[in-house]
C-alpha cells in the first residue's frame, strides 16, 4: 500500500484526537501507538533510498573508478581474434585501483576497519543496532578475518562471519530468481546478440559500443555492464530494456551497494581468467549460460563445473576461482549473463545495513 506524507499525518492527527477523546480507552492508546509506528516506518523508508532499478534508468554518467572502484573483475568477449584492445577508454576501469576513496584501494588494516566501523555506527544511530550482531562482529574483527582465512576462501574486502559456505550452491538457494532468469533466457540471448553485433565504438576499435576489455594472459575477455559495483550504466541499460526489466524483478539482486553487478560476459576460444578471489562472502554469483561451447569450465574452490545453455550456476566467488575456454576458433565465444545475488543466509536487517555501509560513493 502506498502512503503519502499527508495521509500519514492525517492518520496520526486522527489517532491523537482519538487519544484525547478517550484517554482511558485501551483501544485509543493502542491505535495511537500503532499510528506512531506507521509514521516511524514511513520516515525510515523515505530516508533509506530504494533500489535504482525501480525508478528506470539513472541519469548520472557511469562512475568508472569511483568510490566503489575495483571491487571485482568479471568477464569479456571474443571477436578481437587475439588482437590487443586499443584505447584506455575501452579498458574496464573497475579492474584497477583508480580512486583513493575505494574500499579496495584502502589497504587492509586500521584504515579500512575504522572506515567500516564509522559507517556501521552512523547506520545504527540513524536506524537500529537490532540484528547487527554478525555485522558488528565482522566489522570489529575484519582485519583478522581477511588475513587469517584459509587460502581456499579469502574475500578481499569484507567477510561476514558465521555464514554457511561452499564453492557451489544448489539452485534452490535462490529458487525464485534462478527460475526467473532461466525463463528469460530467450530474451536475454536476443539482447546479447543485438549488442554483440553492434558496430565498433570507434574507428580502428575491435570492441562494439558499450563493451569493456579485461586483462587476461590468453585470449579475450569482454564485459557489457548494466550495473557495475552498484552503479547503473544508463546508456547500456537503455540498449537492453528486457534485461533491465528482469533485474528489477529479481528478489535478491544486490542493486544498492558496491558488491552488486550485472553484465553480459564473453570469453573467446583460448581465453583464461586466472585464479582470484571475489570481494565478499555475502553474495552468490549467478551465471546464466547463453552460449556454451564444449571445453569451457569454471573451477571454484578446486571443484570444476561446466555451464549449460539456459541454466544457472550459483557459486561463492570469495573462494579461489578461475575460468577458461579451451575450444578452437570455430567454437565461438562462451557467453553468460552474470548477476550478483544475496547469500540466502544474510538476513534482511543485515542486507539493509550492508547497503548503507557499502553504498557507492561512501
**What is the structure's pLDDT at 31?**
72
**What is the structure's pLDDT at 150?**
77
Decide if 292 contacts 234 (C-beta within 8 A): no
**What is the structure's pLDDT at 28?**
67
**What is the structure's pLDDT at 11?**
57
Q: What is the pTM of this model?
A: 0.77
Helices 175-183 + 241-249 axis angle, to 10: 160
User: 206-212: long-range contacts at Cβ-Cβ below 8 A with a sequence spacing of 24 or more?
Assistant: 206/79, 206/80, 206/81, 206/83, 206/85, 206/86, 207/77, 207/80, 207/85, 207/90, 210/235, 210/236, 210/239, 211/76, 211/77, 211/90, 212/76, 212/90, 212/91, 212/92, 212/93
CA-wise closest residue to 259 among 117, 43, 94, 106: 94
- From first to last of its 362 residues, the chain has per-residue pLDDT tens of 445 555 545 655 665 555 455 455 666 677 767 777 766 665 545 444 456 665 555 434 333 333 333 333 333 333 333 444 445 456 664 444 444 444 455 555 556 678 889 999 999 999 999 999 999 999 988 877 777 777 899 999 999 999 999 999 999 999 999 999 999 999 999 999 999 999 887 777 778 999 999 999 999 999 999 999 999 999 999 999 999 999 999 999 999 999 999 999 999 999 999 999 999 999 999 999 999 999 999 999 999 999 999 999 999 999 999 999 999 989 999 999 999 999 999 999 999 999 999 999 87
**The three grid cell numbers given for residue 353, joined into one nine-digit string:** 545495513
**What is the structure's pLDDT at 57?**
55
**What is the structure's pLDDT at 78?**
35
Cα–Cα dist 167/275, whole Å: 14
**What is the structure's pLDDT at 33?**
76
Amino acid at each position: 500500500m502506498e502512503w503519502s506524507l499527508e495521509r500519514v499525518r492525517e492518520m496520526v492527527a486522527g489517532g491523537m484526537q482519538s487519544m484525547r477523546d478517550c484517554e482511558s480507552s485501551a483501544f485509543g492508546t493502542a491505535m495511537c501507538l500503532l499510528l506512531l509506528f506507521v509514521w516511524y516506518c514511513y520516515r525510515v523508508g523515505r530516508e533509506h533510498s530504494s533500489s535504482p532499478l525501480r525508478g528506470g534508468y539513472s541519469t548520472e554518467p557511469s562512475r568508472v573508478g569511483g568510490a566503489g572502484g575495483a571491487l571485482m573483475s568479471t568477464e569479456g568477449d571474443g571477436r578481437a581474434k587475439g588482437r590487443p584492445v586499443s584505447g584506455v577508454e575501452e579498458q574496464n576501469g573497475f579492474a584497477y585501483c583508480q580512486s583513493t576513496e575505494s574500499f579496495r584501494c584502502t589497504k587492509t588494516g586500521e584504515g579500512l576497519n575504522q572506515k567500516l566501523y564509522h559507517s556501521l555506527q552512523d547506520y545504527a544511530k540513524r536506524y537500529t543496532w537490532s540484528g547487527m550482531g554478525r555485522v558488528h562482529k565482522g566489522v570489529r574483527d575484519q582485519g583478522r578475518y581477511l588475513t587469517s582465512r584459509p587460502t581456499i576462501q579469502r574475500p578481499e574486502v569484507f567477510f561476514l562471519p558465521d555464514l554457511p559456505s561452499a564453492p557451489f550452491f544448489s539452485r534452490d538457494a535462490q529458487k525464485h530468481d534462478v527460475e526467473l532468469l532461466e525463463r528469460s533466457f530467450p530474451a536475454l540471448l536476443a539482447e546479447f546478440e543485438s549488442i554483440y553485433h553492434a558496430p565498433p565504438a570507434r574507428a580502428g576499435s575491435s570492441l562494439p559500443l558499450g563493451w569493456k576489455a579485461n586483462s587476461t594472459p590468453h585470449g579475450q575477455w569482454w564485459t557489457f555492464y548494466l550495473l557495475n559495483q552498484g552503479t547503473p550504466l544508463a546508456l547500456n541499460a537503455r540498449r537492453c530494456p528486457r534485461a533491465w526489466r528482469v533485474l528489477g524483478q529479481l528478489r535478491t539482486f544486490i542493486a544498492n551497494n558496491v558488491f552488486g553487478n550485472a553484465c553480459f560476459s564473453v570469453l573467446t576460444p583460448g581465453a583464461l581468467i586466472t585464479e582470484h578471489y571475489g570481494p565478499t562472502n555475502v553474495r552468490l554469483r549467478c551465471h546464466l549460460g547463453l552460449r556454451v561451447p564444449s571445453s569451457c569450465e569454471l573451477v571454484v574452490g578446486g571443484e570444476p563445473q561446466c555451464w549449460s545453455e539456459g541454466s544457472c550456476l550459483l557459486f561463492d566467488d570469495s573462494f579461489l576461482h578461475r575460468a577458461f575456454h579451451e575450444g578452437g576458433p570455430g567454437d565461438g565465444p562462451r557467453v553468460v549473463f552474470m548477476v550478483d545475488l544475496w547469500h540466502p543466509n544474510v538476513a534482511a536487517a543485515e542486507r539493509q545495513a550492508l547497503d548503507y555501509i557499502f553504498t557507492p560513493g561512501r
